[in-house]
Amino acid sequence: MKVTARGFVGSLFIAASVTAALHLGCGRDAAVPRDGDGLDVSKLPQQVREDYALFANRCSKCHSLARPLALATREVSDAFWERYVERMRRQPGSGISVDDEVPIRRFLHFYSRVERERQNGVEADAGSSLIAAPPSAPSAAVAPPVIPSASAQPLDGATSPIDGGP
């Protein structure tokens, strides 16, 4: 069997058709990451869902969301996230613009805080279990997250592992 240009174009056409059908059939819920390593959006406080959607979209392009979320279970600081996100932004084809950095860091700040509270056994707020707080009674975890100060660490201080993975 020979590989022909016709056969290759045919494969492309079939792939495009299947893609279009699945894409239309599976909806366009951008808040749900493409892999199951993310969080249950319905349990996130309303205030962080937009940040999470951006984080999930940008940070699942090259690797699983399990990587950054696992890092959040460690004792990490805002300065760490600042360097980390900046490093990732500089990856070839990352698709993470300067404008994306703050919302991504804001979500990671929130999630790190929730994880720390969970590890410390704090059950006082809704964020600890990632259960959305009632809109009328925002908890400490769903208060407007602190945006890490740009002066805390130099933004250009990060360099990179140039692959998508470990």
Partner 1 sequence: MGSRLGLVLVMTTLLAALAAIVSPRSAWAVDHSLSGSAQLDYHLVPTAPDANARKSTFDGLTTEASVKLTADVADHLSASIKVCFGCHGFEADMAYVHYQPIEEFGVRAGRFSPSFGAFNLRHDPANHGLSSKPLPYDMGRMLRLSSWNMSVLPSPFPDNGVELGGTHWIGTKAQIDYAAYVVSGFKGANDSFDVDWIQSRSPSLYYADNNGRPTVGGRLATTVRLGPTTDLTLGASGQHGTYNPDNTLTYSIVGGDISFRADKTIVRVEYLVRRQELDASNPARFKYSISRERGDFFTKHGAYVELEQGLTSRVALLGRVDGMARFGNLARESDLVDGSTVVRGTVGGLVTIERGFRLKLSTEFWRFSDNDLRNGTDKAVSIHTALVGAF
Query: In the complex, which residues of this chain contact partner 1 (CB under 8 A)?
Result: 1-3, 7-8, 11-12, 14-16, 18-19, 22-23, 26, 28-30, 32-38, 40, 57, 61-67, 69-71, 74-77, 79-80, 83-84, 87, 90-95, 97-99, 154, 156-166
Residue 138 Cβ, how far from partner 1 at the closest point, in Å? 26
DSSP code string of 123-145? -SSGGGGTPPPPTTS--GGGSPP
CB neighbour burial string for 120-145, b if at least 16 within 10 angstroms, e if fewer: eeeeebbbbebebbeeeebbebbeeb
Residue 8 CB, nearest approach to partner 1 (Å) = 7
- For residues 124 and 159, which CB has a smaller minimum distance to partner 1 in the complex? 159
Nearest to 86 by CA among 146, 164, 150, 30: 150
Q: Which is nearer to partner 1, 134 or 166 (CB)?
A: 166
**Least gap, CB of 50 to partner 1 (angstroms):** 10
**Shortest distance (Å) from residue 72 CB to partner 1:** 11
Q: For residues 7 and 144, which CB has a smaller minimum distance to partner 1 in the complex?
A: 7
Nearer to partner 1, 134 or 156 (CB): 156
Taking the complex as a whole, the smallest distance from the CB of residue 136 to partner 1 amounts, in Å, to: 29
Q: Which is closer to partner 1, CB of 33 or CB of 45? A: 33
CA distance 25 to 158: 41
Half-sphere exposure of 118 (CA within 13 A, CB side): 15
Give the three-class secondary structure for 165.
coil
User: Residue 88 in contact with residue 94, Cβ under 8 Å?
Assistant: yes
